[in-house]
C-alpha cells in the first residue's frame, strides 16, 4: 500500500495500521480502500465515499483514502466530471499495479475530460517522475500549480525534479514555496539542506537541517548531516553532540568514526 500513498501524496509515510473494531463489519484498511477504488472506477461515488471513510476509521493515516475523499468532494463541487473521476481512479488503480503507461493514459483521459482539475496533472506528474521523464513531470506539476497555487506537494515534487536536473536555484525557490504553504513539510527543509551541503554552504545547510529537527525531532539523518556540516566548519563540539544524538537513535557510524579518530570524547 505504500505505492498507493506515494502516488497521491508523494513521500508521506504510512501510519500505524489500526486493527478493526469487531463491532463493525470486517474490513481491514487496504481491503476497504480497494473496495472504494473499485466503486470509484465504476462511478459509484457514494459507495466509494463510504469505503474510503471506513478505511480512515481503521487507519487515520491512510493518506490515499483521505485524498480519495478529497477527489469525491471536488467532484461534488463540480471541479471534475463523473467520467473524469472514473478515469482518475483508474489511473490510481493502474499505478498500484505498476502499469505506469496505463496509469498515464488514464490520467491523461481525466485531463481531457476535466482540463481544469489539478490533481490529474499532479498524479500524472508523479507517474512521469517515477518513469524518470523529468521534463514531462515538471510540465505536469507546473500545470497543477497553475490550477491550484496552494498545493504544496506540487511545488515540492517539481523541486525534486529540478534538483535531479541540477537546476538548484529554481528548486530552492520551489521548496521555499512548498514550506510557506505547509510549514510541517520537513522533507523540503532536508532537501534544501542537502543542496546547500553539496554546494559547500554549510551555515545554510545547518539552518535547514535544524528546521528539519524542529519539525520532526526523530528524523535521525538530519542530526547526522547537521553534525557533518558542523564538522566541516571545524565545530567539533556541536558535531559530536549531533553524532551522539543520532547514535541514541540507532545510527552510530558517524559517532564511532569520530570517536575512533579522537574527535569526539565519550561523556
Domains and CATH numbers, the chain: 185-267 (1.25.40.10)
d(CA 87, CA 99): 14
Q: What is the helix (H) or strand (E) element at residue 68, kind and residue range? A: helix 63-76
The DSSP symbol for 12 reads: P
Residues for the chain: how many in total? 267
Angle at CA of residue 154, ends 188 and 107, nearest 5°: 140
What is the b/e burial string over 30-43, where b = at least 16 CB atoms within 10 angstroms of the residue's CB? Answer: bebbbbbbebbbee
| Ranges in the chain, pLDDT < 70 | 1-27, 267
Q: What is the DSSP string of 77-120?
A: TTSS-HHHHHHHHHHHHHHHTT-HHHHHHHHHHHHHHSTT-HHH
pLDDT at position 150, please? 97
pLDDT at position 27, please? 60
pLDDT at position 39, please? 97
d(CA 32, CA 194): 39
Count CB-CB contacts under 10 A for residue 56.
Answer: 19
pLDDT at position 28, please? 72
pLDDT at position 12, please? 32
Amino acid at each position: 500500500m505504500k505505492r498507493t500513498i506515494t502516488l497521491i501524496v508523494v513521500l508521506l509515510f504510512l501510519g500505524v495500521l489500526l486493527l478493526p473494531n469487531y463491532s463493525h463489519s470486517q474490513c481491514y484498511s487496504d481491503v476497504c480502500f480497494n473496495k472504494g477504488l473499485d466503486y470509484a472506477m465504476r462511478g459509484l461515488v457514494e459507495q466509494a465515499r463510504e469505503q474510503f471513510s471506513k478505511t480512515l476509521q481503521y487507519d487515520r493515516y491512510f493518506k490515499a483514502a483521505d485524498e480519495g475523499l478529497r477527489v469525491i468532494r471536488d467532484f461534488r463541487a463540480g471541479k471534475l466530471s463523473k467520467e473524469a473521476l472514473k478515469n482518475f481512479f483508474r489511473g490510481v488503480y493502474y499505478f498500484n499495479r505498476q502499469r505506469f503507461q496505463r496509469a498515464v493514459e488514464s490520467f491523461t483521459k481525466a485531463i481531457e475530460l476535466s482540463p481544469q482539475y489539478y490533481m490529474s496533472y499532479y498524479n500524472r506528474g508523479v507517474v512521469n517522475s517515477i518513469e524518470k521523464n523529468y521534463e514531462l513531470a515538471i510540465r505536469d506539476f507546473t500545470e497543477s500549480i497553475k490550477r491550484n497555487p496552494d498545493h504544496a506537494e506540487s511545488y515540492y515534487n517539481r523541486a525534486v525534479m529540478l534538483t535531479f536536473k541540477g537546476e538548484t536555484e529554481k528548486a530552492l525557490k520551489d521548496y521555499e514555496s512548498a514550506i510557506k504553504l505547509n510549514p510541517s513539510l520537513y522533507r523540503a527543509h532536508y532537501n534544501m539542506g542537502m543542496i546547500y551541503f553539496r554546494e559547500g554552504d554549510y551555515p545554510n545547510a545547518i539552518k535547514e537541517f535544524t528546521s528539519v529537527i524542529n519539525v520532526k525531532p526523530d528524523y535521525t539523518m538530519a542530526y547526522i548531516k547537521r553534525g557533518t556540516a558542523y564538522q566541516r566548519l571545524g565545530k567539533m563540539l556541536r558535531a559530536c553532540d549531533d553524532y551522539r544524538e543520532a547514535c541514541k537513535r540507532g545510527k552510530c557510524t558517524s559517532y564511532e568514526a569520530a570517536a575512533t579518530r579522537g574527535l569526539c570524547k565519550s561523556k
